[in-house]
Amino acid sequence: MNNFENHINGNKPVVVDFYADWCGPCKMMPPVLKEVKEKMGERITVLKMDIDKNPHYANQFGVQAVPTLIVFKNGKIIWRKAGVTPAYEIIQQVNLLV
C-alpha cells in the first residue's frame, strides 16, 4: 500500500484535490486549501492529486471534471464536489466528521 492509500484509509479525514496543471479553475484552489488547513490544523490532511500523473486514481474514484474535491475517512468517500469550492463549505463538511 502506498502513502496515498495509507492516508485515505486512516481515521483522520483527508481532503484530496484532484487537479490538472492545464486547468484554469484548479489554480484557484491552493489558497482555498491553505485556508482550510490553517483553520482545521492537525485534525485533517490535505492532499493534491494530479490526474495527468495519476490517471489510475482519477479513474478509480470516478473523477470526470477538475477540480474535484473528495473527502475520505477510513477508506470511504464521505463527501465529494466538482468545481471550485469555497473554504467555508469544505470546513463545514469536514466538521461533520471530526
Active site residues: 23, 26
Distance between CA atoms of 81 and 53, rounded to whole angstroms?
A: 21
Distance between CA atoms of 79 and 93, rounded to whole angstroms?
A: 7
Measure the CA angle with vertex 72, ends 16 and 66; round to 5°. Answer: 35
